[in-house]
Copies of this chain bind each other. A is one copy, B any other.
Amino acid sequence: MKRFSEKMNRPIGVIRTYKILSDGRRQIGAFYLPGDVFGLEIGKEHQFSAEAIGNATVLVVRRSAIVSLAERDCHAAQELWTYTGRELHRVQEHMMLLVKNAQQRVVSFLLEMSERLATTDEVELPMSRQDIADYLGLTIETVSRTMTQLVSDRTIGLPSSRRIVVRNRRVLCELNS
């Protein structure tokens, strides 16, 4: 049997998880990038729905298989705990993001994406403005205006709407603080 971590839901491409609120808005819970594990939840029902942004390949594992493995294999159980703990940490960070102001939310998001998928100072965002807005709990207009502001401040560059150039990381980090 393969190692545990090779058996879980791991996207190639990008996955977003989301929930529709009573007023029709969509809240995005997370973006999962290639190699990330997701959907490891405790109850019968998943809290969030998941869908691919563009094409994605996902390794799927039945929850029952995971649980029964954890019953037998102590190491596997610990690994499960670790994955869930990491996810807990991520959600805590996301929660803290949602109480910041609009500029700080956008900056946090750009820094997060830059860390997760930039090789240079340039990032190709895999998601739309609407996805970003729904992740940050803002409207698409506020996200757009905030980015425009960062461009005029020379903090970022925006060669195209999906490409972000980090021009002044220090300022970004300070804004984020």
Interface of A is mostly: helix
Contact A82 B27 (CB under 8 A): no
Contact of A95 among B70, B73, B80, B91 (CB under 8 A): B91
Contact B88 A84 (CB under 8 A): yes
Contact A88 B42 (CB under 8 A): yes
Q: Does A115 contact B (CB under 8 A)?
A: no
Report A19-43 CB contacts with B as 1/0, cut-off 8 Å.
1011001010100000000000111
Contact B89 A87 (CB under 8 A): no
Copies in the complex: 2
- Residues A63-99 near B (CB distance < 8 A): 70-74, 77-78, 80-82, 84-89, 91-92, 94-96, 98-99
Contact B99 A21 (CB under 8 A): yes
B residues less than 8 Å from A89 (CB atoms) = 41-43, 47
Q: How far is the CA of A47 from the CA of B93 in the complex (A)?
A: 9
Contact of A41 among B25, B47, B78, B88 (CB under 8 A): B88
Which 9 A-B pairs give the minimum distances between C-beta atoms? A42-B85, A77-B77, A22-B177, A99-B137, A95-B95, A74-B74, A88-B88, A98-B98, A81-B81
Binding site for B on A (CB under 8 A): 19, 21-22, 25, 27, 29, 41-43, 47-48, 70-74, 77-78, 80-82, 84-89, 91-92, 94-96, 98-100, 137, 177
